[in-house]
């Protein structure tokens, strides 16, 4: 069996988890904003690694590139391959990621921030599924 290195994905997921779950109630407004910005940035690179890891896994299974496959179709295939539970949720994470690429708006940033906890749970489930297939990172 081929080996898919999950180390980077696992590390970014852990980093996002720590940033998201640090207690924010004792932080002043400026520090809270900085913490939220940090969480959003960690979400961005964790999301990027998540979908690229899905793509690599699927390509390894069929040994052909999926370069022409759109992200939504990629998530549908990941669902069919039992890597993820809900492709619609991943469509939402893609939308959240797209929002982060545009001009900064506090309301949009807050919406993205609120979507990160469900993403974290789904990304952890993805990592666990892949670790079962590949024997850990």
Options 42, 57, 77, 97, the catalytic residue: 97
Q: Is 97 a catalytic residue?
A: yes
100 Cβ contact list (under 8 Å, min separation 6): 40, 43, 44, 109, 112
For the beta carbon of residue 39, count every other beta carbon within 10 angstroms: 24
**Catalytic annotation on 102?**
yes
Integer Cα distance of 95 and 69 in angstroms: 17
Q: Active site residue: 21, 57, 102, 114, which one? A: 102
Burial bucket for residue 25 (CB in 10 Å: 0-12, 13-18, 19+): exposed
CA–CA–CA angle 127, 56, 92 (5° rounding): 60
Contact between 122 and 53 (Cβ < 8 Å): no
> Cα–Cα distance between 6 and 12 in angstroms, integer?
10
CA distance 36 to 32: 6
Q: Look at phi and psi of residue 104 and say left if phi exceeds 0, alpha if psi is from -120 to 50, else beta.
A: beta
- Domains of the chain in sequence order: 7-134 (1.20.120.330)
List the Cα angle 7/11/16 in 5-degree steps. Answer: 150
pLDDT in tens, the chain (137 residues): 688 999 999 988 888 888 787 655 556 777 777 888 899 999 999 999 999 999 999 999 987 788 889 999 999 999 999 999 999 999 999 999 999 876 577 788 889 999 999 999 999 999 999 999 998 75
């Amino acid at each position: 069996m081929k080996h898919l290195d999950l180390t980077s994905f696992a590390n970014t997921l852990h980093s996002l988890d720590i940033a998201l779950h640090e207690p924010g109630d004792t932080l002043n407004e400026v520090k809270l904003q900085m913490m939220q910005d940090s969480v959003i940035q960690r979400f961005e690179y964790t999301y990027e690694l998540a979908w690229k890891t899905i793509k690599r896994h699927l390509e390894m299974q069929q040994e052909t590139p999926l370069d022409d496959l759109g992200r939504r179709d990629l998530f549908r295939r990941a669902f069919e391959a039992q890597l993820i539970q809900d492709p619609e949720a991943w469509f939402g994470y893609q939308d959240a990621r797209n929002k982060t690429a545009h001009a900064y708006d506090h309301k949009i940033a807050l919406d993205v921030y609120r979507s990160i906890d469900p993403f974290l749970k789904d990304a952890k489930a993805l990592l666990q599924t892949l670790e079962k297939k590949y024997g850990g990172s």
